[in-house]
Structure 1
Amino acid sequence: MHSAIYGALFFTVALLVTTAYFLMGGLPLLVLKHDTPLDARFVRGFFNVYYKAAMVTALGAAISYALWGRFGFAVGAAGLAGIALLLRQRLIPAMQFLDLQIQANDDDAIRRFRRIHGSALLVNLVQLIVVVWSTTQLSL
């Protein structure tokens, strides 16, 4: 058995834990009214940390799978890292922009911020489902 399998398994479990943890942590944050700058900053920071963790674990998984010779899984993991990078580049600045509008008591900004928050969690759920499903397809 090739030694890269250990890295692949480690990073796959780390990706599963990271994704599940942030999904479970992000859902209760939807209870927040998002009407104060502190709420918006906390949620934005929460997702910023998640996207960084998802990028690191997905890249680690991609490299490990490539070294193991499981190129389909490597491409899939690299895709997850790319999605995390793209979402971080798009959603974090959007949340920051809306945070400034929330400070001005803009109800529409609060609604849009909540929509971004919910959409980010939905993407997180889909990612978790894909990772769980793909691990069921992995034969050692």
Structure 2
Amino acid sequence: MPDSIAVVALVLLLLPMFYFFLASPAFLLVTLDIRSVGLLLRGMFSGYLLAMTIAGAAGALAFTLEVRLGPAIAFALLSALAFYSRRWFLAQIDARLDEKEAGDANAVRRLRRLHVGGMLNNAVQLAAVVACIPYIVVMPG
């Protein structure tokens, strides 16, 4: 039976990552010219990064209590990255939405690039976490 703390920590971390991985491509099918669509995109980024911050911190705490410092540091780094990325992404999205409202024709293109960059960032992190599962979940025996 695998280490239950590690499995729970990984599931809590992977849930928001998989959600964002599956939900964010839908915004590629709609125009970001509409303010409410941009605000939905902002809300999705905000929720995803907040969930990653909390899940990473919880996992880091759980692994620290088990004295498994490698996974604890990795989860803490993911949590810190999500915490600081959230502030940056939301400020950038707000700036692009304000630029669009002010009449900047390239603001929507920059918002789309920001969206795609966030999707790629999540995909790389998701691949890294999935690749590390065998090293984090220790099988007895």
TM-score (structure 1 length as normaliser): 0.91
> Residue 23 of structure 1 contacts residue 124 of structure 1 at CA under 8 Å; is this kept in 2?
yes
- 1:20 has 2:24 as partner: no
- TM-fit CA distance, 1:32: 1.7
Distance in 2, matches of 1:80 and 1:119, equals 17
1:131 matched residue in structure 2: 129
Provide the C-alpha distance between the structure 2 equivalents of 1:17 and 1:33, rounded to a whole number of angstroms.
Answer: 27
List per-residue Cα deviations over 1:67-99 (Å, max 9, x = no partner): 112101000000100110111011101101111
Letter in 2 for 1:86: Y
Percentage identity across paired residues of the two chains:
28
2:63 is aligned with 1:38: no
Do the aligned partners of 1:35 and 1:110 also contact (CA within 8 Å) in 2?
yes
For structure 1, which runs of at least 5 residues remain unmatched after alignment?
none
Answer whether contact 1:36 1:102 (CA < 8 A) is retained.
no
Could you tell me how far apart the structure 1 residues matched to 2:79 and 2:85 are?
10
Q: Give structure 1 regions of 4+ aligned residues with deviation exceeding 3 angstroms.
A: 5-8
Matched, 1:86 2:72: no
Match of 1:97 in 2: 95
Choose the corresponding residue for 1:66, options 59, 64, 87.
Answer: 64
Q: Distance in 1 between matches of 2:127 and 2:69?
A: 20
Give me the TM-score of the superposition, normalised by structure 2: 0.90
Q: Is the 8 A contact 1:35 1:105 kept in 2?
A: no
Unmatched tracts of structure 2, length 5 or more: none
Q: For residue 116 of structure 1, report the CA deviation from its aligned partner.
A: 0.5
**1:77-124 Cα shifts (integer Å, max 9, x gaps):** 001001101110111011011111222342210000000000001110
Residue aligned with 2:106, SS: helix
